[in-house]
Structure 1
Amino acid sequence: MTSTDASSQILKELANLRLAAAGLNRVSPSSLNSCLLKLAELTEANMGRILQANALDLARMDPENPKYDRLLLNEDRLWAIAADLRRVAALPSPLGVVHEANTLANGLELSRVSVPIGVVGIVFESRPNVTFDVFALNLKAGNASVLKGSRDARDSNQAIKLIIDEALASTGLPPACYLAPAEREALVPILKADGLVDVIIPRGSQGLIDFVRANSSVPVIETGAGICHVYVDADANLEWAKAIITNAKSRRVSVCNALDCLLVHRDHLGVLHDLIYELGQDHNCVVYADPEAFAVTIGLYPGELLEATEESFGTEFLSMKMSVKCVDDISEAIAHVERYGSRHSETIVSNNTENIQRYLKEVDAAVVYANASTAFTDGGQFELGAEIGISTQKLHARGPMGLAALTSYKWLVRGEGQVR
């Protein structure tokens, strides 16, 4: 098949999906929930088939690759996915919510009501669990899904798509999910599908996000890339700091809310080795330290310690690596975050109320913490039920995107013959 033929086929599939999205608009929320419950049941019943497909994907990837953990499915993860599907089904519907209502002086009755976005495209790398997550959230919000996974997860995604189709068909819903070909060439026709796709949400590396933003004529919501910092202030509780640093870095290194850079006030240089000791001893974390931090930790840090370069900062490692920089005060810490951060998640560890308030106000990120780990940046942890991704932009949605972020709204106006 030529590239022109392949693009034509993709556009045909998107046109059909557009019709399916219109069909979803005529379906009750209870029918959407029934499909999600059926999908949970089918996931549990087809674990063997899904894991066989996932094994084919894993066999093509080096186990040392940081993406390996993202690609991995196992029975525990599939049981958790099924539980999440049931949890999404149990959430209140985000549709038909009246956000505001008013009666004008001329008698017109206005209401602003939540509605589906329509057709939502998700572009993602490696993580086959995303296939379940985004389809479920989109369906709950009344949207049809365009899923563009990577070649890494090709077999897993195809197996998952088969049971999604079965769940839709068995509950009488239209075919509201399209899995695009895994080849990279299939992405551009989707990005250019004005009128067929309403929004694109890339989830993955900064390179993927940059490519989507640069090449899409469909509106884009940026999610994913997280260059996260922990700043340990002069007045920090050092026990809190140590626990937060360890958790933010080691809980799960391949996710976007993991710690990438530790900023430590110069007053704590004497105990820096203790703050990061557990990362070296228990997690083999590689640390790239600036000259001052390197000088006071060499010989004391049990892991690999290297001298930082310019590239050590502003890097999303997605692995057990971290940079460390010494700063004079909160102003220098905020300036560093402004220069090297990705507007994702940032935290300050401090007992100084004034500095906490300043950090919370001045740091430009989707989520800013005081005395807590960046690992909490997650839709489930925010009790949103689940998330489609973590938006680092400022229009439409910011931070963990729950169901409400997958809806738009329209104004409904009721009159009695009024004319202007």
Structure 2
Amino acid sequence: MDTRNFEAAMMYLRSMVGGSLQYMILYVTSRCNAKCRMCFNWDGMINRRPLPQHTLEDLERLARSVKLLPQITLSGGEPLLRDDVHAIIKAFYDHSRTRFFTVPTNSFQPKRVEALINRFVEECPDGFLNFCLPFHGLKETHDNIMGVPESYEKRNETYRRVCEAREKHKNISCVLNCVMSKYNHAEYREIVDLAMDQFPGAPLGVAFTRGKTHESGAGDFPLEDYQAMQAYLQERRSAIPGLNPYTRIQQAISRQYCDTISGVIGGSVKNINCQAGKRLIVVHDTGTVYPCETLETPGMCTAEDPPKDACLGNLHDFGYDLPKLLAAEKARNVVDWIQNNPCACTWECAVTNSVTHTAGNALKLGKDIVKDVTASAFSGGNGRAKD
């Protein structure tokens, strides 16, 4: 039995009951080679591209300033357009004791994914690396949404390489992410069936289109279709043997947030006990730090009077010392506002991070994680992908 599974899962659970930062979303670039029609970050990427972005030295200083950070997502843009992603990961592994890493990728560069895996298993033996791959529909729909021909085939090739690596290295995994939009909502059953039948080595997650999208109106579809897709996914989902604790934690969390997001959209949920700014932060590639992505655009927040400027500060002004930035008056004022004002949104990262820190949900989540990891440790399955 691989003791890393239990050690990593326990580290994650301990961080939940502590009061420190648990999860960072780190934008490493605003460059992207996809043209996703429902992208919430399109305008932001265009606006940030002319500005100076993180150097590797900047990010090494950031990692040294954070003494404990269990989980990080390297976001973008397309993160793998940078040549030094492996070095960024190593910095947080060494200095911030980060053990859970996620790299969302459009999957256009399977060879870079494989190269990153090879560096990771050598340099970060006690860490877990998870890739988030796009899964927006059947072939024609997927390529249409991504805006690049052959996106579907490149995703499949990336998936194949990750699954091959996972056969040798149990700390490598991937998940599939479907962003439901007006372009694919009608084929939600086909999407679930395809994922479950042809991609058995990766759990499927479903996100709701949010924010100011690349193409206006991308989020115009019935809420009932989102709820129906989640229900059908739960109906078809079964435990996938051989998953490491990172993906099992994500599976357990995904069972928690669907009702909350549906309630936010439907208007019945006005407050999610938001932990943004305390347990979760967003660091943009230009150095600006926000408590979450929603408050960057006040109109996306359900609060009656959200702050006009929710930026916590810029790392360039603090020598990339994050604790120093978070201790400054501006950051404290924004976090105090979040704690004292009912706030809710449909951003899955904020919802899951907040929902899991309510006492009842945290207890249930903890039981689910321990149950899943225990079952995995003593099962003989390997989660092998179909050819």
TM-score of the two chains, using structure 2 as the length reference: 0.31
Larger Rg: 1
- Structure with the higher strand share, 1 or 2: 1
